[in-house]
Amino acid sequence: MDDSLRVYFAGDIFNHKDLVGNLLLADAIKSVSDGRYHCILPQNLEQTTGRSIDIRNQDLLEVMRADLLILNFDGTELDSGTVVEFIYAKSLDVPCVVLRTDFRSGGDEEIGGNPWNLMCSGYPRTEVMTLNGMAWYQEAYLGSDTTKTALDRLYEKLAGEVITRMDKVLKTPSLLPDDPGKTREIFRWALNYAGGGVENLISDAELDELISSKKNKNS
Protein backbone atom coordinates (compact mmCIF):
# COMPACT_ATOMS: atom_id res chain seq x y z
CA MET A 1 0.00 0.00 0.00
CA ASP A 2 1.22 3.50 -0.84
CA ASP A 3 1.60 5.36 2.46
CA SER A 4 2.13 8.75 0.84
CA LEU A 5 -0.62 11.31 1.36
CA ARG A 6 -2.31 13.00 -1.58
CA VAL A 7 -2.50 16.78 -1.06
CA TYR A 8 -4.63 18.93 -3.36
CA PHE A 9 -3.06 22.39 -3.65
CA ALA A 10 -5.83 24.94 -4.24
CA GLY A 11 -5.11 28.55 -5.15
CA ASP A 12 -4.58 31.09 -7.90
CA ILE A 13 -3.08 29.75 -11.15
CA PHE A 14 -3.51 32.80 -13.36
CA ASN A 15 0.01 34.16 -13.86
CA HIS A 16 3.64 33.04 -13.84
CA LYS A 17 4.14 34.09 -10.21
CA ASP A 18 1.26 31.90 -9.04
CA LEU A 19 2.33 28.97 -11.20
CA VAL A 20 6.00 29.04 -10.22
CA GLY A 21 5.30 29.70 -6.54
CA ASN A 22 2.85 26.79 -6.37
CA LEU A 23 5.36 24.47 -8.02
CA LEU A 24 8.26 25.48 -5.77
CA LEU A 25 6.24 24.98 -2.60
CA ALA A 26 4.82 21.65 -3.78
CA ASP A 27 8.31 20.33 -4.59
CA ALA A 28 9.67 21.60 -1.27
CA ILE A 29 6.87 19.89 0.67
CA LYS A 30 7.61 16.56 -1.02
CA SER A 31 11.34 16.94 -0.37
CA VAL A 32 11.16 18.12 3.24
CA SER A 33 8.59 15.45 4.14
CA ASP A 34 10.72 12.72 2.50
CA GLY A 35 7.86 11.93 0.12
CA ARG A 36 5.18 11.58 2.80
CA TYR A 37 3.16 14.40 1.23
CA HIS A 38 2.62 14.52 -2.53
CA CYS A 39 0.97 17.69 -3.82
CA ILE A 40 -1.49 17.61 -6.71
CA LEU A 41 -1.35 20.91 -8.59
CA PRO A 42 -4.44 21.75 -10.68
CA GLN A 43 -2.16 23.60 -13.09
CA ASN A 44 -0.45 20.29 -13.92
CA LEU A 45 -3.58 18.23 -14.51
CA GLU A 46 -4.11 17.21 -18.10
CA GLN A 47 -7.22 18.82 -19.57
CA THR A 48 -8.62 16.41 -22.14
CA THR A 49 -11.44 18.55 -23.54
CA GLY A 50 -10.86 22.15 -22.50
CA ARG A 51 -14.56 22.48 -21.61
CA SER A 52 -15.03 24.56 -18.47
CA ILE A 53 -17.43 22.05 -16.88
CA ASP A 54 -14.91 19.25 -17.39
CA ILE A 55 -12.17 21.31 -15.73
CA ARG A 56 -14.49 22.02 -12.79
CA ASN A 57 -15.47 18.35 -12.49
CA GLN A 58 -11.87 17.20 -12.63
CA ASP A 59 -10.88 19.58 -9.84
CA LEU A 60 -13.84 18.65 -7.62
CA LEU A 61 -13.06 14.97 -8.03
CA GLU A 62 -9.44 15.63 -7.06
CA VAL A 63 -10.67 17.43 -3.93
CA MET A 64 -12.68 14.32 -3.03
CA ARG A 65 -9.72 12.03 -3.68
CA ALA A 66 -7.34 14.13 -1.61
CA ASP A 67 -6.16 13.13 1.85
CA LEU A 68 -5.59 16.81 2.66
CA LEU A 69 -5.94 20.23 1.07
CA ILE A 70 -3.60 23.21 1.12
CA LEU A 71 -5.52 26.37 0.24
CA ASN A 72 -3.80 29.61 -0.71
CA PHE A 73 -5.82 32.47 0.78
CA ASP A 74 -3.64 35.33 -0.52
CA GLY A 75 -5.01 38.52 -2.02
CA THR A 76 -7.32 41.35 -0.98
CA GLU A 77 -10.20 39.17 -2.18
CA LEU A 78 -10.04 35.39 -1.97
CA ASP A 79 -10.12 33.48 -5.26
CA SER A 80 -13.71 32.29 -5.67
CA GLY A 81 -12.71 28.91 -7.11
CA THR A 82 -10.46 28.24 -4.12
CA VAL A 83 -13.33 29.07 -1.74
CA VAL A 84 -15.63 26.64 -3.59
CA GLU A 85 -12.98 23.91 -3.30
CA PHE A 86 -12.58 24.66 0.41
CA ILE A 87 -16.30 24.34 1.13
CA TYR A 88 -16.55 21.20 -1.00
CA ALA A 89 -13.66 19.70 0.99
CA LYS A 90 -15.38 20.58 4.26
CA SER A 91 -18.59 18.85 3.10
CA LEU A 92 -16.43 15.72 2.74
CA ASP A 93 -14.52 16.25 6.01
CA VAL A 94 -11.18 16.53 4.21
CA PRO A 95 -8.50 17.99 6.53
CA CYS A 96 -7.31 21.42 5.36
CA VAL A 97 -4.42 23.81 5.88
CA VAL A 98 -5.26 27.40 4.94
CA LEU A 99 -2.11 29.34 4.04
CA ARG A 100 -1.85 33.12 3.73
CA THR A 101 1.52 34.74 3.01
CA ASP A 102 0.00 38.11 2.06
CA PHE A 103 0.91 40.66 4.74
CA ARG A 104 -2.02 42.95 3.90
CA SER A 105 -4.92 43.06 6.33
CA GLY A 106 -8.57 42.78 5.39
CA GLY A 107 -11.76 40.92 6.09
CA ASP A 108 -14.61 41.67 8.47
CA GLU A 109 -13.63 39.74 11.59
CA GLU A 110 -12.83 41.37 14.91
CA ILE A 111 -9.30 42.60 15.66
CA GLY A 112 -6.95 39.64 15.73
CA GLY A 113 -9.25 37.54 13.53
CA ASN A 114 -8.50 36.09 10.13
CA PRO A 115 -7.83 38.66 7.37
CA TRP A 116 -10.64 37.46 5.07
CA ASN A 117 -14.42 37.19 4.95
CA LEU A 118 -15.70 35.70 8.20
CA MET A 119 -17.80 33.12 6.33
CA CYS A 120 -14.56 31.31 5.42
CA SER A 121 -13.53 30.78 9.06
CA GLY A 122 -14.45 28.43 11.87
CA TYR A 123 -14.57 25.09 10.05
CA PRO A 124 -13.46 21.87 11.80
CA ARG A 125 -10.36 19.90 10.86
CA THR A 126 -8.77 23.09 9.50
CA GLU A 127 -5.43 24.64 10.43
CA VAL A 128 -4.80 28.30 9.58
CA MET A 129 -1.29 29.59 8.87
CA THR A 130 -0.77 33.32 8.30
CA LEU A 131 2.62 34.94 7.87
CA ASN A 132 4.35 37.99 6.45
CA GLY A 133 5.64 36.73 3.11
CA MET A 134 7.69 39.87 2.51
CA ALA A 135 9.53 39.47 5.83
CA TRP A 136 10.23 35.80 5.14
CA TYR A 137 11.50 36.64 1.65
CA GLN A 138 13.78 39.41 2.91
CA GLU A 139 15.26 37.11 5.54
CA ALA A 140 16.01 34.44 2.94
CA TYR A 141 17.28 36.89 0.30
CA LEU A 142 19.56 38.95 2.54
CA GLY A 143 21.16 35.83 3.96
CA SER A 144 21.95 34.27 0.57
CA ASP A 145 24.53 34.86 -2.14
CA THR A 146 22.49 33.47 -5.04
CA THR A 147 18.85 33.51 -6.12
CA LYS A 148 18.69 29.71 -5.94
CA THR A 149 19.97 29.68 -2.38
CA ALA A 150 17.42 32.32 -1.37
CA LEU A 151 14.56 30.38 -2.95
CA ASP A 152 15.70 27.11 -1.39
CA ARG A 153 15.87 28.70 2.07
CA LEU A 154 12.49 30.39 1.71
CA TYR A 155 10.57 27.40 0.40
CA GLU A 156 12.20 24.84 2.71
CA LYS A 157 11.24 26.98 5.70
CA LEU A 158 7.70 27.50 4.37
CA ALA A 159 7.32 23.80 3.57
CA GLY A 160 8.44 22.83 7.07
CA GLU A 161 5.79 25.03 8.67
CA VAL A 162 3.05 23.75 6.34
CA ILE A 163 4.06 20.14 7.06
CA THR A 164 3.84 20.77 10.81
CA ARG A 165 0.26 21.94 10.37
CA MET A 166 -0.65 19.05 8.08
CA ASP A 167 0.71 16.63 10.66
CA LYS A 168 -1.39 18.36 13.32
CA VAL A 169 -4.68 18.50 11.40
CA LEU A 170 -4.38 14.81 10.49
CA LYS A 171 -4.53 13.97 14.19
CA THR A 172 -7.98 15.52 14.60
CA PRO A 173 -10.80 12.94 14.68
CA SER A 174 -12.87 12.49 11.55
CA LEU A 175 -16.49 13.65 11.59
CA LEU A 176 -17.56 10.94 9.13
CA PRO A 177 -19.46 7.87 10.36
CA ASP A 178 -17.53 4.70 11.21
CA ASP A 179 -19.78 2.76 8.85
CA PRO A 180 -18.13 2.86 5.37
CA GLY A 181 -21.55 2.42 3.74
CA LYS A 182 -22.87 5.58 5.37
CA THR A 183 -19.73 7.46 4.40
CA ARG A 184 -20.22 6.31 0.81
CA GLU A 185 -23.75 7.76 0.92
CA ILE A 186 -22.30 11.11 2.01
CA PHE A 187 -19.71 11.05 -0.77
CA ARG A 188 -22.32 10.04 -3.36
CA TRP A 189 -24.59 12.85 -2.14
CA ALA A 190 -21.70 15.32 -2.52
CA LEU A 191 -21.17 14.17 -6.09
CA ASN A 192 -24.88 14.45 -6.87
CA TYR A 193 -25.29 17.92 -5.39
CA ALA A 194 -22.29 19.18 -7.38
CA GLY A 195 -23.92 17.83 -10.55
CA GLY A 196 -22.57 18.76 -13.96
CA GLY A 197 -21.56 15.17 -14.70
CA VAL A 198 -19.02 14.77 -11.88
CA GLU A 199 -21.38 12.21 -10.34
CA ASN A 200 -20.65 9.88 -13.27
CA LEU A 201 -16.86 9.98 -12.96
CA ILE A 202 -16.46 7.52 -10.07
CA SER A 203 -18.22 4.22 -9.34
CA ASP A 204 -19.44 2.96 -5.99
CA ALA A 205 -16.66 0.37 -6.00
CA GLU A 206 -14.08 3.13 -6.54
CA LEU A 207 -15.70 5.17 -3.77
CA ASP A 208 -15.43 2.20 -1.40
CA GLU A 209 -11.74 1.83 -2.23
CA LEU A 210 -11.18 5.58 -1.74
CA ILE A 211 -12.98 5.62 1.62
CA SER A 212 -11.00 2.60 2.83
CA SER A 213 -7.73 4.32 1.87
CA LYS A 214 -8.73 7.53 3.64
CA LYS A 215 -9.71 5.62 6.78
CA ASN A 216 -6.34 3.86 6.86
CA LYS A 217 -4.57 7.22 6.59
CA ASN A 218 -6.91 9.01 9.06
CA SER A 219 -7.71 11.51 6.33
* Maximum C-alpha span of the chain: 57
Task: Output the pLDDT for position 48.
Answer: 65
pLDDT < 50 positions in the chain: 1
Sequence-distant (6+) residues with CB within 8 A of 62 are: 8, 40, 42, 45
Give residue-wise pLDDT tens across range 185-196: 999 999 999 999
Cα separation, 109 vs 179, whole angstroms? 38
Instruction: Quote the domain boundaries for residue 131.
Output: 5-217
pLDDT of residue 170: 96
Nearest residue to 166 (alpha-carbon basis) of 11, 18, 2, 30: 30
What angle do the packed helices 180-194 and 204-217 form, to 10 degrees?
A: 120
What is the count of structural domains for the chain? Answer: 1
CA distance linking residue 52 with residue 57, whole number of Å: 9
Assess contact for 53 and 78: CB atoms under 8 A: no
Q: Given this model, what pLDDT does residue 111 score?
A: 84
At 1 the pLDDT is: 44
Give the domain CATH number at 69. 3.40.50.450
